[in-house]
Chain A
Amino acid sequence: MKQILEIKDVSRRFGGLQAVNKCRFSVRAGSITGLVGPNGAGKSTLFSLVSGFVRPDSGEVLFDGNHIEKLSAHEIARLGLRRTFQIPRELKQMTVLENLLLVPERQFGDQVRSVLLPGKRVHEEERINLQKAQGVLEMVGLGEKAQHPAALLSGGQKKLLELARCLMADPKLLLLDEPTAGVNPTLIRHLMSVLRRIHASGVTLLIIEHNMTVIMELCERVIVMDRGQVIAAGTPAEIQSNKEVLDAYLGGVSA
């Protein structure tokens, strides 16, 4: 079984707080893996450590068999590892469409010299990217919002925009930080089917999620974190009956 992501004893301290403490687990290529745990367990911080936004104090991270713990965030993104943010970071002053058009790499129009040359090449490139962006927006259910300023989206729609921005890059591994938080129940149903389709197209998903229905229905494996450490891992059913997990997490939230 090929592991697309291997996290080995990764630690990170913020002042006096050990946010992530010798965290260790792997994600199987082609899986949908859940990452759960009480608030403050260090899940989001772990995403930042893996995606290069925060540097680990120690430990190793392997993506597709290659060490990435020393790479910078843009390098990791270019390898095909993309993440969403728990609090959506939509570009408010841009339209939904422009938020996606930012994404394609190596755009000719992204170079200063393109400005001084005839516009044909840039327009052709934009046309192709536009088509792709429209397709991605349709897929996540934001097709009708393409021309809206991102600032006007609802909380749930902003979550979808974060997802769409990642999809625009054809990632290999997607780290989704609470994709259903703030999304209304009908939309969650839709989002789950979208995630299934993304998965079916060959993308591996690691999802931080509090909604147990989503975890149960989507994930083949669930990792449980508490106080910066992995305290359990297994199938959703195993996790639900695990005493330690119930104590740490489900006991409080009651799924």
Chain B
Amino acid sequence: MIDYLIAILIFAGIYGFVALGLNIQWGLTGLINLGQVAFFAVGAYTFALLSKAGVPFLLAVAVATTLSGVFGAAVAMFTPRLREDYLAIVTLGFSEFVRLVLLNEKWLAGGPDGVAGVPRPASFPGLGSETSFLIVTALALAFAFWFTRRIERYPIGRTLKAIREDEGVVTSVGKVALAYKTKAFLLGAALAGLGGAFFASYLSYISPDMFGPNVSIYVLAAVLIGAQGSSVATLLSTALVAALLEGTRLLKDYITFVDGVELAALRLMVLGLALIAIVMVRYRPGRP
């Protein structure tokens, strides 16, 4: 039971990185990203391949994060003016592209077989591997949280929020909105890649089917449930989504009248209903 709790916490933490990243893009700057899983996957695979080749944990994490950011910047630059409608299509398309490349290019990362034997960082003395990993994840997440919170509160966050509200105003005060949007997108992608590195390290095995569109949807749900712009709310709602998704697995032991497949569907239904309820409460017409 305690092991299971630790696992949920680690998963929540991993999704936390991805959601914090999406929160910079979508919550703060208003850049929709329907394919955040792509950058998560880039981070996961980069970390997996590097650390299997003997690159130390921290260095592999850093390279995975950076490379995801580079991919983010590239996607941003391929999207004309980073307009919302283009962005929705490009990000969704890019995430499927990444998944299909990983699936079909065997030479790159094992194709459908994925990558196995991804190492974890060394455990702390006297602590188990799971607990150690939880601590490392929590430390990294604390750093990511500190970073995004500062972004929110610093002048740069003000400019990003201004872009979300009215890009023309930002232009009229002499600032290059497109440059800020590109940076925001890059940062969000890098954070997703950071989450991906932890994901690969934790599971020790990754394969393309783990990087389907549902990952993007879960983090979109987390950011939507959170206040869209606040790192605190984003992390809390990520924990909520993780608890909903993972926690309902616990029900298996208590609910005997549904089987595993039905339970999986039930889980998504619960998430869907929770989303609808929250959106109805939070986005009532007439509320700012």
The 8 Å CB contact of B288, one of A93, A112, A165, is A93
B169 on interface, CB distance cutoff 8 Å: yes
Contact status of A110 and B156, CB under 8 A, knowing A77-B173, A78-B174, A103-B173:
yes
CB nearest to B146 among chain A residues: A115
Docked Cα-Cα span, A53 to B169, in Å, equals: 11
State the Cβ distance, A93 to closest chain B Cβ, in Å. 6
Of B155, B158, B168, B176, the contact of A89 (CB 8 Å cutoff): B168
A128 → B minimal CB distance (Å)? 12
Cβ of A116 and Cβ of B165 under 8 Å apart? Answer: no
Q: A92-B288, A94-B161, A115-B150 are in contact. Are A109 and B172 (CB under 8 A)?
A: no
- A169 cross-chain contacts in B, Cβ below 8 A: 173-174
Return B127 CB to nearest CB of chain A, in Å. 30
Find out whether the CB atom of A126 lies under 8 angstroms from the CB atom of B155.
yes
Count chain B residues whose beta carbon lies closer than 8 angstroms to a beta carbon of A. 25
Contact B288 A102 (CB under 8 A): no
A151 contact set on B, CB distance < 8 A: 288
Complex Cα spacing A89 to B166, Å: 8
Measured CA separation A126–B165 after assembly (Å): 22
A98 proximal to B (CB < 8 A): yes
Using known A-B contacts A114-B156, A122-B155, determine if residue A51 contacts B174 with beta carbons closer than 8 Å: no
Distance A126 CA – B171 CA, assembled complex (angstroms)? 21
Cα of A110 to Cα of B183 in the assembled complex, Å = 11
Shortest distance from the beta carbon of A244 to any chain B beta carbon, whole Å: 34
CB neighbours (8 Å) of A153 from chain B are none
- Which residue of the partner chain, among A72, A102, A112, A126, contacts B162 with CB atoms under 8 Å? A102
In the complex, what distance in Å separates the CA atom of A109 from the CA atom of B171?
A: 18
1/0 contact trace for A108-126 toward B, CB 8 Å?
0111101110010010011
A111 near B156: Cβ-Cβ < 8 Å: yes
Question: A73 near B161 (CB under 8 angstroms)?
Answer: no
Closest A residue to B172 using CB positions: A77
Task: Determine if A122 and B172 form an interchain contact, defined as CB atoms under 8 angstroms apart.
Answer: no
Central interface residue in B170, B175, B177, by most chain A CB within 10 Å:
B175
User: CA A162 – CA B155 in complex, angstroms?
Assistant: 20
CA distance A89 to B171 in the complex (A): 12
- Rounded to whole angstroms, the CA-CA distance of A53 and B183 in the bound complex is 23
**Residues of chain A within 8 A of B170, CB atoms compared:** 102
Question: Is A248 at the interface (CB under 8 A from chain B)?
Answer: no
> Does A91 touch B at the CB level, under 8 Å?
yes
Residue A158, interface by CB 8 Å: no
Cross-chain contact B174 with A116 (CB below 8 angstroms): no
Q: Report B-chain residues with C-beta under 8 Å of the C-beta of A105.
A: 173-175
Residues of A within 8 A of B147 (CB): 115-116
Closest 5 CB pairs of A and B: A109-B155, A77-B174, A78-B174, A115-B150, A73-B171
Residues of B with Cβ closer than 8 Å to A?
A: 147, 150-151, 154-156, 158-159, 161-162, 165-166, 168-177, 183, 187, 288
- Could you list 21 examples of A-B contacts with CB < 8 Å? A51-B172, A74-B177, A77-B172, A82-B172, A89-B172, A91-B162, A91-B169, A92-B288, A93-B165, A94-B162, A102-B162, A107-B155, A110-B155, A110-B159, A111-B156, A112-B151, A112-B187, A114-B156, A115-B154, A151-B288, A165-B169
Q: Give 17 A-B pairs besides A74-B175, A93-B161 with Cβ atoms closer than 8 angstroms.
A: A73-B171, A89-B166, A91-B162, A91-B166, A93-B288, A94-B161, A102-B162, A109-B154, A110-B159, A112-B151, A114-B155, A115-B150, A115-B151, A122-B154, A125-B155, A151-B288, A169-B173
